[in-house]
A and B are shown apart, each in its own frame.
Chain A
Amino acid sequence: MSTIDYSEKIPNNVNLSEDRRLQRALEKWQPAFLGWWDQMGPESSSNHEVFLRTAIDVSAKGWAHFDMVKMPDYRWGIFLADKEKDRKIGFGNHMGQDVWQEVPGEYRSELRRLIVTQGDTEPASVEQQRYLGLSCPSNYDLRSLFQVNVEEGRHLWAMVYLLHAYFGRDGREEAEEMLLRHSGDVDKPRILEAFNVPTEDWLSFFMFTFFQDRDGKFQLTSLAESGFDPLSRSCRFMLTEEAHHMFVGESGVGRVVERSAQLSAEHDTLEVGRHGGIPLAMIQKWINFHFSICLDLFGQEKSTNAANFYSMGLKGRYNENKIEDDHLLNNDGFLVPDLQNGKVIMSEISALTAINERLRNDYRDDCQKGVDRWNRIIEKANVDFKLTLPHIAFNRNIGTFQDNDFDLEGNLISAEEFAANKDTWMPNSKDREFVKSLMQRVVEPGKMAGWIAPPSRGIQGKDIEYEYVILQ
């Protein structure tokens, strides 16, 4: 008989204490996960007391509990959003049928692939960010980083739960592999390329949580439409946490922008580097880089896989139920960018195969809203500068544009021209060195590094001066 109190050790709403198969799987996996966290998680952090929120429930009110916790003791839980009564599949060939509570045999491998690909990104970002704690701009931000990290860890748990609970031996093997692949590892890298470069500075971290985590939001929202109900419910709950990560990103970049604009106004120059700020033009370079590599995460403009996932009812579009069409897409067209005679033009392909592109468009529009808000901060400081998103053709490694070079406006240029301008469009080694030089660790409660403005308020009603992380 098991002596472990599962609801205490692993908070859950999946009836873990009565599911012996799942217990067996997770008992074996949990030590491996903790080993991974110890080895690949935030550097030198295991004894810090951190003011963390822990998911303990899924109800709209009080789903989270805040407390000072050492991260290795964080209770990574398994939560699915509440079951919707009589939920029906909302798109594809099975539209109108009851959602699946078990994996349909015919789609087993497709579902597993979707879950593995999504799951692989979660621990990847923890690995990418593991040294950031050593150069944090404030105690408040250090806490944000750790909060994001433990929740990415929990998202891994959520995906691993699905693999363990629904995919048998193969699922267990895949769950193990998630801990064996590591970001940037020469032998076993993470599946998606954008998750194999380290996040080396805090500006990159805020960009990451704005751009990469927003990709996560769009992927999760599409998966939340899935006809496989446990996946849908799992993703719906993950989205509540993901929202905070994007808040960290948007407000983080916003605070850097605010500080830069403030210094620009104060010294009447955009070259605020020598005044300890990050010039707005440099921030633009970070945007150019992160936005372009995130566009690649959505895959090819024309994708059979995405079309299959849709027709099979496994992965929908963003806000599928708000879209007014037949949700079958067998006869619809969709405009995707194409390259003809050196010009980017739009050409129509089957809407089914254009699922990726549609999601990428939705993502781009959502990113633009954030950029607009940052621009309002600059405007408010009366500084004449505008941040923009680069053209979708810029710096792409997947899809229509991958074999050609484009400038920020989307004009086709030669490889030589691109190489000559690359360093003015995206962070070069000098820029990175400079930004890194600003990243001096500040952990004293209430203090802020000179390159970033303080947040407008603290966490969970606490002051900004609160000691969110007690360093040990």
Chain B
Amino acid sequence: MIDFQTTPETYSHWRLEIDGPVATLIMDVNETEGIAEGYELKLNSYDLGVDIELYDATQRLRFEHPEVKTVILTSGKDRVFCAGANISMLGSSSHGHKVNFCKFTNETRNGIEDASVFSDQRYICLVNGTAAGGGYELALAADYIMLIDDGASTVSLPEVPLLAVLPGTGGLTRVVDKRHVRKDRADFFCTLAEGIKGKRALEWKLVDELVPRSKLLETAQERALEFAKNSARPSDGVGIKLRPLKREIVGNEINYKTLSVDLDREHALAEITILAPSEAPPSNLEGIHELGDAFWHLALARELDDLILHLRTNEPEISTWGFKATGSADFIEAGDKLLLEYAEDWLIKEITLFLKRTLKRLDVSSRSLLSFIEPGSCFTGTILEIVLSSDRSYMLDGSFEGSNVPPAKLRITGMNLGPLPMCNGLTRIETRHLNDKQAVELIESVKGRDLEAEEADELGLITFIPDDIDWEDEVRLAIEERASYSTDALTGMEASLRFVGPETLETKIFGRLSAWQNWIFQRPNAVGEEGALNLFGTGKQANFDKKRV
């Protein structure tokens, strides 16, 4: 089982050094400590294990170090920044692992950009040696790229000429969409195995600054301090500790503080129940700071994040995730209100951003997402977003016969109206009612009010509202039917329907770039017996099928 939890004390591949407002995150990959057997992580190449540590470091920098305003990302190796994803690892991985790995690395890089833009924790990448493929893609995630000007070190995206695959961790997209490298130059750059160095890299906007070898750290530090001056993060902020999650996996059950999961393997279903807080949130901001990672909304973000990653990686045959919720809607709404009221506080901001990223992670998961809203459930505000991101949702109209539990309800809060956008830049409500301003306004007008099935249906917040006579059959059929379809077709269908509306850097990366990459990953020119990815490292030359498709 692959575990996504780690702590800086146990990192094998990274060092995190903090000096006042500047943190330095040093990549120094331990060759022999790959997450799987059969390859060596030479030249600072990475695998999932390396990226899990990177993800952990970026999260801790946000929550544990409010005083850190600039992060310098660099390598601990001489003359090598990072050689990208390890090719032997890719060559020996299953298709599923490759896709999952790429998705996670993409999410981590998006998270780095999110920190630069929204947390005022800007990333500077100090490329102190050759940055190839995924190595340059990592640099591209930073806000500012500094390249050593030693007459030898290059940045490159050599995937097409060397491996017959794409720079799929955002590389192609970021070069043109983020850095605005002209597309003809980008075309040339992406076919140049050895990459571009020095002056031309700067002229072509592949990097932002050239630094002499003897002044690397000095110049990076200077730049970092300059950037830090304009950051809104508090110099005197006191971080909170992200303690290890309490997670129990027993047989087909997974339990966290805020979530409980039952795996129904026969129906390829994970039944995920969100457990609302058992008490009211603190009454003020100080109370939240005191609670730290025990504050329910943050605990939910962390645990849902971990659960998504766990299920994606370790439970590939669990194809449908069914969400339920139980507990007090009032406590959730009270927490939501705190997040909105103190939105400018650094910690509150981080919690909201983390919720946003976790919900985005849910959106891009290749699983069918279903929500079941029953009496006693509490889909409100932040967790109502899960219903809104589901492919389908079922809400019981009325109560179960013979039960005295009041009918199921939903409640909109301010959290549904802006702070948690999807990767298309829209809220889930706007996405749901694309270009229908009236429908969106109508939903906004019922904020804070309990909505029973009929009204929720009229507002277009849910898919079906069976009554108690039909409920059991409807739910069973939905799940069984889902399990009978091709998972590939489902993945494609769901991904195409979920991201309506405008394109953004992120939708392009998860849609266009990933889809092409995953197609290429299946094609003989890459992975066939004579494919380039398959033969890489053997010295044998690929034999391409030259037909265009």
Contacts and interface: CB of A to CB of B under 8 A. Distances in A.
A binds B: yes
Contacts of A188: 149-152, 213
A187 B149 contact: yes
A310 interface: yes
Interface stretch (B220-228, B353-361, B363-371, B532-540): B532-540
Nearest to B198: A177
A189 B194 CA distance: 18
Nearest to B87: A304
A189 B213 contact: yes
A180 B539 contact: no
A180 to B, nearest CB: 6
Contacts of B194: 109, 112-113
A353 B535 CA distance: 12
Contacts of A355: 539
A352 B193 contact: no
Interface residues of B, number: 18
Contact of A352 (B149, B151, B192, B538): B538
Contacts of A352: 538-540
A304 B45 CA distance: 15
Interface in A165-197: 173, 177, 180-181, 186-189, 191
Interface residues of A, number: 27
B149 A110 contact: no
Contact of B214 (A180, A187, A311): A187
Given A109-B161, A109-B193, A180 B540 contact: no
B540 A330 contact: yes
Nearest to B193: A109
B537 A353 contact: yes
B152 A311 contact: no
Contacts of B193: 109-110
A205 B537 CA distance: 37
Contacts of B540: 307, 311, 330, 352
B213 A186 contact: yes
A306 interface: yes
B287 interface: no
Contacts of A330: 540
B8 interface: no
B314 interface: no
B541 interface: yes
Interface in A77-125: 93, 109-110, 112-113
B247 to A, nearest CB: 36
Interface of B: 149-152, 161, 192-194, 200, 212-214, 536-541
8 contacts: A93-B541, A187-B149, A187-B150, A188-B151, A188-B152, A352-B538, A352-B540, A353-B537
Interface of A: 93, 109-110, 112-113, 173, 177, 180-181, 186-189, 191, 304, 306-308, 310-312, 329-330, 350, 352-353, 355
Given A188-B152, A304-B536, 18 more contacts: A109-B192, A112-B194, A113-B194, A173-B200, A181-B151, A187-B149, A187-B150, A187-B213, A188-B213, A191-B152, A304-B538, A307-B539, A307-B540, A312-B541, A329-B539, A350-B538, A352-B540, A353-B538
> 8 tightest CB-CB pairs across the interface, nearest first?
A307-B539, A352-B539, A188-B151, A186-B214, A187-B212, A187-B213, A181-B151, A109-B193
